[in-house]
Amino acid sequence: MRGLIVRNTGSWYDVRTDDGQLFACKVKGNFRLRGIRSTNPVAVGDIVEIKPQYDTPGRNSTPDVPEDSPSGSYALITDIHDRRNYIIRKASNLSKQSHIIAANVDLAGLIVTIAHPETSTTFIDCFLATAEAYRVPVLLIFNKVDLYDEADRRYLDAIMFLYRQLGYECLAVSAATGDGLEALIGELRGKTTLFSGNSGVGKSTLLNRLVPEARAKTAELSTAHDQGQHTTTFSEMYDLAVGGSIIDTPGIRGFGTFDFEREEVSHYFREIFQTGRHCRFGNCTHTHEPGCAVKEALGNHEIAESRYQSYLSMLEDKDEGKYREHF
């Protein structure tokens, strides 16, 4: 039976079959995803083959099925269909393992906030570079505009201008007041969209606005650090009334890029890649070489300092062969 993974709760996956049944599933013991060492062999958005276990009368006899699993019956995931795309990051600090955030998405919505909490440009740029590498279009969603003071608003304008110039779609919204949500729905209609971003930026609050019956848990920022509290712990897909769906995911701290070679990093910074064609040396790393067009453009303010710094910090990660957390 074919189905779509709509929720991931640790080692359990909820799968919705083509005829609308829901199964709580486990990955079959010897099943491994070819070529990738990942903490999760399959992810929300994956199309899989499942084999219902009719000999097991229900969840009561499989004691570790999550309490709130919508189905009484359980199944084994026996195969995975080819993915159209996916978004992947390093699983954790120093980890050699990866974590697949979601598969088969039409759009990656990166929710960011200028303040409360502040999303760093390094984090944004790492996410954008990964999406570029895996060919997933990104929509930058700047949330909590209701909280911004004068200086925050000026910064918001500048940062939206920067990313729009690079060709990224940007929207400013407020999940609290509903500002900008009509435009957002317009962008999401008919698409499968991943919601990602730091903890506390309002992913689940936005989801609840767009899909009221989702009733996803949300929580205030910690008063001490003005940071999110990692409220969402599972990834889950929710259908939009206008068609399409949203995948809400747990907030991420650092966004370690997975699987890039050092030489590749510049390919995923659009403007650095474009400008880099004019460097004197074909293998220019844009760090110390003479005749570097990127450094020249940086000097002329044609390339933003923040973008170049993000590029350098990603190069550095590759140098050390390890993952350093970005804030």
Q: Interface residues with Zn ion (CB under 5 A)?
A: 279, 284, 286, 292, 294
Q: Which helix (H) or strand (E) holds 55?
A: none
From the list ligand GTP, Mg ion, Zn ion, none, which binds 200 (C-beta under 5 to 8 Å, kind-based)? ligand GTP
Nearer to ligand GTP, 33 or 221 (CB): 221
Q: Which is nearer to ligand GTP, 7 or 295 (CB)?
A: 7
Q: What is the biggest distance separating any 2 CA atoms in the chain, rounded to whole angstroms? A: 71
Least spacing, CB of residue 276 vs Zn ion, in Å: 5
Q: Does 119 bind ligand GTP (CB under 6 A)?
A: no
Q: How far is Cα 188 from Cα 49, in angstroms, rounded to an integer?
A: 28
Residues 229, 200 contacting (CB under 8 angstroms): yes
Near ligand GTP by CB under 6 A, which window of 46-54, 215-223, 293-301, 319-327?
215-223
Positions 133 through 152 that interact with ligand GTP (CB under 6 A): 143-144, 146-147
Assess 251 for contact with ligand GTP (CB under 6 A): yes
Element (DSSP H or E) covering residue 75: strand 74-80
Q: 10 Å Cβ neighbour count for 212?
A: 9
**Phi/psi at 243 (nearest 5 deg)?**
95, 145
How far is Cα 201 from Cα 113, in angstroms, rounded to an integer? 6
In this complex, which beta carbon is closest to Mg ion, that of residue 232 or of residue 275?
232
Give me the phi and psi of 315, to 5 degrees please.
Answer: -60, -40
Q: Closest distance between ligand GTP and the C-beta of residue 45, in Å?
A: 18
Minimum distance, C-beta of residue 287 to ligand GTP, in the bound complex (Å):
34
- Which among ligand GTP, Zn ion, Mg ion, none contacts residue 279 (Cβ within 5 to 8 A by kind)? Zn ion
Phi/psi for 68 (5° steps) reads -90, 15
Q: Does 232 engage in binding with ligand GTP (CB under 6 A)?
A: yes
| Cβ burial, residue 152 (10 Å; 0-12/13-18/19+) | middle
Contact 68, 61 (CB under 8 A): no
Which of 44, 297 has the CB closer to ligand GTP? 44
- Contact between 193 and Mg ion per CB under 5 A: no
Q: Which of 119, 218, 245, 285 binds ligand GTP (CB under 6 A)?
A: 218
Nearer to Zn ion, 218 or 275 (CB): 275
- Number of neighbouring beta carbons within 10 Å of residue 306: 16
Whether residue 197 contacts residue 110, with contact meaning beta carbons closer than 8 Å, is answered with yes
Residues contacting residue 37 through CB under 8 Å, at least 6 positions apart = 96, 97, 98
Interface characters, 200-229, with Mg ion (x: CB under 5 A): ---xx-------------------------
Task: Match 């009733």 to its residue by tokens.
Answer: 215
Report residue 263 CA to chain centroid gap.
23
Instruction: Report the residue number, 94 or 147, with the smaller CB distance to Mg ion.
Output: 147
Our CB check for Mg ion shows the closer of 232 and 285 to be 232
Q: Which residues bind ligand GTP (CB under 6 A)?
A: 143-144, 146-147, 174-176, 199-205, 218-221, 228-232, 250-251
Q: Which residues bind Mg ion (CB under 5 A)?
A: 203-204, 231-232
